[in-house]
Structure 1
């Protein structure tokens, strides 16, 4: 039996990934701060930017109970935020302290707990990364750094040499989500490349979440998954 954990499943790409996996007969448990109005998907309310809340949830039985009979287990670390955006002089330190636990600590902790909760299964970990983890962008120092951390985590996992654990930090491309709306609403002074993303919306070159989710799930389920620990869905 194949089972999947998807973080940030209530909207955008996460919602599309959870729906696509469910459509293919995969049992899904979604983790997010709130519940979505969806059928056929298990849900747990969890603020993954709160390390104490995440630690308490991982200390419980939910994850182990859900994965207990899985023969193949999937973890899609999708939840994340682009904020704070701007140069250091404009960044709210409190926003940094919310972003880093959500973007880095949560997916790394979940990966460890996930592997330990399903020792009998083949386990696949997919970090939803970004080209911003591989190229620096002005105003995105926190976002770039946190996505780069996921890339290096996946590289190191491959070096661990566990044949039953495969990982990839995958950049999905530029998706038409709420995050993109946030980017377009950012002042140019905070994000000088804002117009590039606004142009993508105007020209219709943003990818629909459902289209991206289909390609991403194809990639996740393919035999070659994990061969490249850092990859781009557009390759």
Structure 2
């Protein structure tokens, strides 16, 4: 009998809620192996994986300690043979919004945490992924979940905007690094649109005096302009599956053809 084909590996951060959880659920398909890095394991996700007979590994991990997370990821990837997976994809989805206040009033520890999770962790995980898989023959992809706020400034959002702008720009750099390689990874920093998640609740609940854009986020909700996490996940994963993924290192799913 012929051997079963090698599975496709997906590594996903921030899979405990919102669009990250929706992506994790949609990635639990036959022929896939899913590794999640989140603050906590999700028992419902484990049950779904068992029912679908899909390999799922969940790491409860603090992405604010990016060196430890990236070292663990590199070791795990290096423990697999180069031919173990038909393809390998890293999706850097995790991010946090610190207290919604002007930078002058921000707590230093809060700022540092937001930048560690939102920028340092994606950079270190991407480096570990690319280093460990550089000789793998299958297709390799890195999808960084960015935001329109990485491309448009907003008051009282300095840390989040800076993290996403940094994500966009380091993705451009990685695209240049990988382009000359025979099997260079395809990379993209993708804005997923405006999604109805806990982050939106946080923005709508902010102090209007400290956050001048609060009314805009309230109108998005009231006007029905927010995408559900499930629909957003489908659009993002469809973009990831496009044959031209990575042609543009910075993109917006709403502008995709």
With normalisation by structure 1, the TM-score equals: 0.93
CA shift, 1:97, in A, is: 1.1
Q: Go from structure 1 to structure 2 and tell me whether the alpha carbon gap of 1:15 and 1:164 turns closer, same or farther (over 3 Å shift).
A: same
**In structure 2, which of residues 170, 176, 181 is the aligned counterpart of residue 153 of structure 1?**
170
Please tell me whether residue 9 in structure 1 is matched to residue 15 in structure 2. yes
Question: Aligned-residue CA RMSD in angstroms?
Answer: 1.7
Distance 1:6 1:66 in 2: 18
SS at match of 2:144: strand
CA shift, 1:56, in A, is: 5.1
**In structure 1, which of residues 113, 118, 123 is the aligned counterpart of residue 140 of structure 2?**
123
Distance 2:71 2:92 in 1: 19
Distance 2:34 2:71 in 1: 21
Give a deviation string over 1:27-56, Cα, whole Å, max 9, x none. 111101111121323201110012354255
Distance 1:67 1:228 in 2: 30
Q: How does 1:66-215 map to 2 (within 5 A)?
A: 69-118=84-133, 119-120=135-136, 121-160=138-177, 161=179, 162=181, 163-215=183-235
Larger radius of gyration: 2
SS at match of 2:254: coil
SS at match of 2:122: helix
Number of aligned residues: 234
Contact 2:66-2:125 at 8 Å conserved across structures? no
Contact 2:196-2:227 at 8 Å conserved across structures? yes
| Structure 2 partner of 1:64 | 78
SS at match of 2:140: strand
Distance 1:51 1:127 in 2: 16
Give a deviation string over 1:90-135, Cα, whole Å, max 9, x none. 2111101111110111001111111122231321001100010001
Distance 1:25 1:201 in 2: 37
Distance 2:125 2:113 in 1: 17
Contact 1:3-1:67 at 8 Å conserved across structures? no
Q: Go from structure 1 to structure 2 and tell me whether the alpha carbon gap of 1:52 and 1:115 turns closer, same or farther (over 3 Å shift).
A: closer
Give a deviation string over 1:170-203, Cα, whole Å, max 9, x none. 0000001111111111111221101111111122
| Ranges in structure 1 where 5+ consecutive residues have no aligned partner | none
Please tell me whether residue 221 in structure 1 is matched to residue 241 in structure 2. yes
